[in-house]
Amino acid sequence: MKPPAPPAVRQRAKPVPTAWRGDLKSILISRNEIRDRLKEMAAAIEADHQKRDLVVVSVLTGTVLFLADLIRHISLPMRLDFIGVSSYRNATKPGQLVFTKELGIDVQGRDVLLIDDILDTGQTLHRVIGKLRQLKPRRIRTCVLLSKSARRVKKIKAHYVGFEVPDEFVVGYGLDFAERYRNLPFIGVLKPEIYQQAAS
């Protein structure tokens, strides 16, 4: 069965907390919206993986908040591992992809749930899936918090998508710009002057 389309974010005006007003244009997804959607995602993952001993492979570093909040709603036996990939080098444009951490758990013959923060051009997930396939898992399912379909280059779709977002650079809830803003409990849109400043 085809999974239902992820909700597109509603661009209602949500006030940006004072501490972040200089950096963010707007809040795109509030912490409550994230919390509610994660429960739905966890339920879908649980339903699809009954009686499976899962290996959750999470892409560093942007997934840490998402992962931690998502898996506490999944009541299935699982092991957790991380794979390190670095692509965005101090800019909003992708650089070369480098693996910075390899898997420690053997995934051969296993059901893998691959988690990333955002599916943008698709280059990262494409590379990571290619690498995982060489390790001969039984099946790989992919799960992302956000999808920015407008920028997709690689023909790739995630099985579980939290929210479809517009083509803007977003930060928070794990997502960074130059390694900052990961600690925001919501997803916000970065002011263009912040990354224009950094580029100049």
List of residues contacting Mg ion (CB under 5 A): 62, 88
Nearest-approach distance from CB 14 to Mg ion, in angstroms: 23
Q: What SS3 string covers 130-181? A: HHHHCCCCCEEEEEEEEECHHHCCCCCCCCEEEEECCCCCEEECCECECCEC
Binding mask of the shown chain, residues 152 to 171, with x at each position contacting ligand IMP by CB under 6 A: -----------------xxx
Read off the amino acid at residue 125.
L
Residue with tokens 């990571």: 128
Read off the amino acid at residue 154.
K
* Using rule CB under 6 A, residue 116 touches ligand IMP: yes
Asked, as a colleague might, if the bond just before 61 is cis with ω within 30 of 0, I would say yes
Nearest-approach distance from CB 34 to ligand IMP, in angstroms: 15
Which 55-114 positions form the footprint of ligand IMP (CB under 6 A)? 62, 87-88, 94
Active site residue 120: yes
Which of 69, 111, 116, 120 is flagged as catalytic? Answer: 120
Q: Which residues are catalytic?
A: 120
Residue numbers of the site for ligand IMP (CB under 6 A)?
Answer: 62, 87-88, 94, 116-124, 169-171, 175
